[in-house]
Structures are given as C-alpha cells and as structure tokens.
C-alpha cells in the first residue's frame, strides 16, 4: 500500500467506517472481539441464520486458551469442556505411544475438548458485551477494492441489498470463502483419497477419560476424542461406496468400525450426529490483497487430526486484529499489515505438512509390510524431551515469528547475540510471583490487555545492573512519544528498594524471587517489548533507547507533535 492509504475517502481515526468481517465462525468472532477491544469500529456478517450446532472441531489447545484468557473467556471455556491431558496410540493391538501434557509450560497444560459451536457461543456473548451484534442471514455477493477503500455488496435474507464502504475487509468465511472467490485468489492443494466417517456418540468400555485414543489396524484407523458430558467424537477412514454417493451413515456403521478396530466389547449409542467427509490440504498463496485479507479456513484447510484448524484460525485473527486496529486508528502505517501474511502463512504451511504426515502415517498402516511397521514403532518411541517438544508443537506453544519484518533485537556493540530468555519473535513465557500494589500476580496477568507492554528489567547482578533513573527516563520518553499505545513496566529485582507502584510514566512490580529476571535471561539489564498478541516484538541488552525507537518507528506512527 502506498500514499493512497492516507489520502482515501475513508477516515482513519476512531470515527472511521467499520472494518467489515465476513464470516462469524470462531475465526471471525475472535477477530471482531479483538478489534472491538482495541477500540476499532467493526461490523460482522454471516450468511447463516445462527451458529451451526455440530462438533466440527473440538480441541482448544493451550495457546488458544491463553488467547481466550486474554479476552476474558477462558474460564468459561474450561468449565464447559472436558480436559485432554494425553493420548494413547495402538498399532496391531499393541500400545506404541503414550504421552501426557502435564509438563507443558503454560497456565493451561492441557487441551480443552469443547464443541466448536460452544466456543462460538462464548465469543458471540463477549462480542455482544463489547457492543457488536452479528448480522445473520447477510451474504457477501460482490466486492470492489479501489486501493483507497473496499465497496462490498451485501444481500439480506429478504433479498434486499446494501452497498457498504469499508477501509478493510477480512474474509473469515470458511473453506468455500466468497471473499476468496470474489478476489480470484487460488486455493492450490490436493484432496486425500480416503473417505471418513465422523460421529458424536456415547461409547462404553474402559478408557482413561482425559486421553485421545488412536487405533492403527489392518482394517484402517480409528480415532476417539473425548467430549464433554461423557461423549466421544469418533473418526475413521472407510472404503468409498460403490456406485457413487452413499446415504448418511448410521449407528450401525459406527458399530461395525468399533467391532473391527477397537478393543472387544465397545458399544456405541445415543448418536447426536453422523457424517461423511473428505480431507483437503490447501493453502492460499497470499493472505492479503490490497485492503482485503483472508483468515482461518478461508486461507488454509488440512486434516482435522491434531485439532489444529479452529486453533490456527483463532490465532490468525489475534495476529491480525492488533495490527488492523492500530492502522485504522492512525497509530501505525498500513505497511504494518504486510507482516500478517509474513508471520501466519508460514504457520499454515507447517500445520498442513504436520497434519498430513500424521494422517498419511495412520492411513498407510494397512498396507505396511512388517519391517515398515517395525520402523514405525521405533519412530514413535521418542525420548521424553522429544515427546514433550512434540506435545508443545501440537498445543501450538512453539510458534515463532523470528523472521518477521516487525520483530528484532539489539545487542551491545561487539557482544555475541543475547543468550537466554525468549528471542525476538518468540511467544512470551509466564513468570511469577510478582508483587503489584500488594497483590501477587503473574506476568501473563500484567500483560493482559490490548496494548504493547515494554518490560524493563534492571538485572539480577548488581555489577551489571541498570540504574532505575535511566529506566525511568526511558519510560518517560516512550510514554511521551507513544502515549497509551505502550504500557511500561519496571520489574524490580528482589534486593532493590523501591515502591511497587507507578511513578506516572511506568508501573513497577517487584520480582519477589527473581523468577522473571531468570526466565528472561536478565542477569544484566534488559528490555522486552511484548506485542498485544503475546510475542516478543523487540529485546535488547543493555536496554537500548536507539534500538528500541528504531524498532518502534517500523511499527507505530508517533502521535502528532511528539
């Protein structure tokens, strides 16, 4: 985008025309909630009359729970869900893999098994409290992007049409995205040749209630995912029917699969819904076209095995929201939006490759020779450290934007790169206990909210420590230049005297046991700029005013007269 961004007919302040979000699934609702929370005007439409009451996706992973905690609805999600704390994989009746999630470094060391429609209900309730209502039975039928704004034609249920002008439009409208089609964006990829049956049922039998079960058998693969209320989501590959389309599956089809592939005696009952589906692996080459964006299934689809789809969409939305909000409020240049594709496209390609490898391995078990099966068994017998890393990857706790154009670091001249602590582009890790105004809190609690947070760490070693006066001066300059777009926190080491409250430019906390300094590698003075989506935007040792302001100039537009 060029100068046309600042000379269009669209107002760019807080009175700007609303950003238009097309699609009110989990991705669109997350985006709308985050935009409203950032103070950006937003309008969200969906062609359906309401939330579809099917368990299309069920797992809310650790990282997504952290996002929902920041939004304030994680407690509701967890309370309604069934925890998933591990998995067992069997091959030929033999247990070949068992892992637990207890060692995850997250406030949520588990996945929350909850039907997608219930997650969407929680998000829509939050959106209503933020003053935004989903406009149902409203379909996008045309759009035109002239470089200065987007004109979208909407059709309501009664056939009436409306042409709206919006500064930015985001397609969160699923695998058959109207936005993607109207933009002429390709969706390259391939279809898995296997057909699957999926069912929401009650199963009897002896299983650990908080674990996923996978059975690789001579008849095919069977997945069992725990749901709330003692129910199970079952998925299995099945032969294609002869003579074309088959009737909808029934409970008898489910029982046949259980008799073939599960341990003896497992019975299915009380089906809520059953369906056939095919897996596709596709990712769009571009997430941005001028003033139009794609997110969630509109941009990428893949195997549901591993439960990555809903989670990846939620995090697409959370990545894009703060950037769009800054731009529409004239706090950042439109070039900041280029980082959305740069950061999230690579994540989608990795998710696609990972889920395809998992699914192919399961599907191919039927045709494996004995020696191939032996190699598979050896491959899944991972050392504990590797197993934990696998779980971290599944729970999306290792996402990394280190190659992003808006993440960076500054080291002292002549020194090696910083060691220890999360690097620029990494997810922040929690630390506690911290003392704020007489209350013990965690770092995640301090970071909660829709702004950047600059964390200033004086350093644990007295000989390498930054003077508080220098940090106060830096805090004052940042606040004077960027106002409420950046909060500044000074974390006092355990042995440093000082009030644990704000000084007008920064709020102070006491790192009671030095845990924050140690986790962030701050033996000497350091700074970390944490983005609203919970990633390190910039870090330096010692705290570098010049390096920080060079970085901020790439992200923000300083307020007039600063």
pLDDT band of 205, cuts 50, 70, 90: confident
Q: How far apart are the first and last CA of the chain?
A: 25
pLDDT in tens, 505-540: 789 999 999 999 999 999 999 999 999 999 999 999
| pLDDT over 70 (residue 97) | yes
pLDDT for the residue numbered 390 = 85
Report CA dihedral (268, 274, 277, 281) to the nearest 10 degrees: -80
pLDDT for the residue numbered 462 = 95
CB 436 within 8 A of CB 500: yes
Q: Are strands 292-294 and 288-289 parallel, antiparallel or unpaired?
A: antiparallel
pLDDT band of 223, cuts 50, 70, 90: very high
pLDDT for the residue numbered 562 = 53
pLDDT band of 333, cuts 50, 70, 90: very high
| Long-range pairs, 370-376, Cβ under 8 A, ≥24 | 373/91, 373/92, 376/91, 376/96
For the chain, the average pLDDT equals 90
Whole-Å CA distances, 253 to 221, 238, 247, 273? 15, 10, 11, 13
pLDDT in tens, 250-281: 999 999 999 999 998 899 999 998 999 899 99
- What values do phi and psi take at 431, rounded to 5? -155, 145
pLDDT for the residue numbered 504 = 56
pLDDT for the residue numbered 11 = 34
pLDDT for the residue numbered 241 = 63
| pLDDT over 50 (residue 12) | no
- Tokens of residue 202, six digits: 């009650």
Q: Which residue has the tokens 């989608």?
A: 348
For a pLDDT cut of 90, what percent of the chain falls above it?
A: 80
42 exposed, middle or buried (CB, 10 Å; 0-12, 13-18, 19+)? buried
Q: In whole angstroms, give the CA distance from residue 29 to residue 45.
A: 10
CATH of 190-280, one of 3.30.70.20, 3.90.105.10, 3.30.70.2450, 3.40.50.300: 3.30.70.2450
pLDDT for the residue numbered 547 = 94
Q: In whole angstroms, give the CA distance from residue 519 to residue 429.
A: 8
pLDDT for the residue numbered 459 = 97
What CATH fold (topology level) applies to the domain 408-555? Glutaredoxin (3.40.30)
For a pLDDT cut of 70, what percent of the chain falls above it?
A: 92
Average pLDDT over residues 322-344: 97
Q: In whole angstroms, give the CA distance from residue 91 to residue 318.
A: 38
Average pLDDT over residues 320-337: 96
Instruction: Starting at the earlier edge strand, list the strands of the sheet with 526-530.
Output: 408-411, 536-541, 526-530, 452-457, 486-492, 507-511, 434-436, 439-441
pLDDT in tens, 118-140: 999 999 999 999 999 999 999 99
pLDDT band of 4, cuts 50, 70, 90: very low
Across 331-384, where does the E strand assignment appear? none
Q: In whole angstroms, give the CA distance from residue 429 to residue 517.
A: 12
Same fold, 3-58+115-186+284-362 and 408-555: no
Average pLDDT over residues 47-65: 87
Q: Which residue has the tokens 């949520």?
A: 108
pLDDT for the residue numbered 1 = 33
Q: Are strands 150-156 and 169-171 parallel, antiparallel or unpaired?
A: unpaired
Q: In whole angstroms, give the CA distance from residue 26 to residue 32.
A: 10
CB 157 within 8 A of CB 348: no
Q: For the domain 3-58+115-186+284-362, what is the CATH code?
A: 3.50.50.60
pLDDT in tens, 417-450: 678 899 999 999 999 999 999 999 999 999 999 9
The gap from C-alpha 505 to its chain's centroid, in whole angstroms, comes to 32
- Give the start-to-end residue ranges of the domains of the chain: 3-58+115-186+284-362, 190-280, 408-555
pLDDT for the residue numbered 380 = 72
pLDDT for the residue numbered 6 = 29
């Amino acid at each position: 985008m060029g100068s046309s961004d600042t000379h269009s007919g669209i107002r760019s302040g807080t009175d700007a025309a609303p950003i238009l979000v097309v699609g009110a699934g989990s991705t669109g609702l997350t985006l709308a909630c985050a935009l409203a929370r950032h103070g950006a005007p937003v309008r969200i439409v969906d062609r359906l009359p309401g939330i579809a009451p099917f368990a299309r996706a069920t797992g809310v992973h650790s990282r997504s729970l952290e996002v929902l905690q920041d939004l304030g609805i994680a407690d509701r999600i967890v309370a309604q869900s069934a925890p998933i704390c591990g998995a067992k994989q069997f091959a030929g009746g033999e247990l070949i893999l068992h892992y637990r999630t207890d060692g995850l470094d997250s406030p949520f060391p588990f996945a929350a098994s909850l039907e997608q429609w219930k997650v969407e209900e929680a998000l829509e309730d939050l959106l209503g409290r933020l003053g935004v209502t989903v406009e149902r039975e409203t379909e996008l039928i045309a759009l035109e992007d002239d470089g200065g704004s987007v004109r979208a034609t909407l059709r309501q249920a009664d056939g009436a049409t409306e042409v709206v002008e919006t500064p930015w439009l985001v397609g969160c409208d699923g695998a058959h995205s109207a936005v993607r089609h109207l933009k002429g964006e390709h969706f390259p990829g391939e279809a898995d040749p296997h057909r699957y049956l999926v069912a929401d049922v009650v199963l009897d039998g002896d299983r650990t209630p908080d674990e996923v079960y996978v059975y690789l058998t001579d008849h095919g693969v069977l997945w069992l995912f725990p749901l709330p209320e003692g129910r199970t989501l079952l998925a299995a590959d099945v032969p294609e029917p002869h003579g074309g389309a088959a009737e909808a599956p029934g409970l008898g089809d489910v029982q046949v699969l259980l008799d073939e592939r599960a341990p003896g005696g497992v019975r299915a009952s009380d089906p809520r819904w059953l369906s056939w589906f095919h897996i596709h692996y596709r990712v769009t080459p571009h997430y941005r076209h001028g003033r139009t964006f794609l997110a969630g299934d509109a941009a990428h689809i893949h195997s549901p095995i591993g439960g990555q789809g809903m989670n990846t969409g939620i995090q697409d939305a959370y990545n894009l929201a703060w950037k769009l909000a800054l731009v529409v409020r004239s706090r950042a240049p439109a070039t900041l939006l280029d980082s959305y594709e740069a950061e999230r496209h690579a994540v989608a390609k990795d998710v696609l490759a990972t889920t395809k490898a998992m699914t192919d391995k399961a599907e191919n078990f039927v045709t494996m020779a004995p020696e191939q099966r032996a190699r598979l068994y050896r491959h899944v017998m991972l050392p504990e450290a590797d197993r934990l890393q696998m779980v971290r990857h599944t729970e999306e706790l290792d996402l990394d934007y280190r190659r992003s154009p808006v993440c960076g670091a500054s080291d002292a001249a002549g020194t090696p790169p910083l060691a220890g602590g999360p690097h620029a582009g990494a997810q922040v890790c929690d630390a506690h206990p911290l003392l704020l105004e007489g209350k013990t809190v965690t770092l995640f609690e301090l970071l909660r909210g829709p702004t950047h947070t600059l964390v200033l760490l004086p350093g644990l070693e007295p000989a390498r420590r930054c003077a508080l006066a220098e940090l106060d001066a830096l805090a004052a300059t940042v606040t004077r230049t960027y106002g409420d777009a950046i909060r500044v926190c000074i974390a006092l080491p355990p042995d440093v005297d000082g009030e644990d409250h704000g000084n007008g430019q920064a709020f102070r906390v006491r790192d009671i046991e030095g845990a924050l300094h140690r986790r962030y590698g701050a033996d000497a003075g350091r700074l970390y700029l944490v983005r609203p989506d919970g990633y390190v935007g910039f870090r330096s040792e010692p705290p570098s005013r010049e390096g920080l302001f060079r970085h901020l100039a790439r992200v923000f537009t300083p307020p007039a007269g600063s």
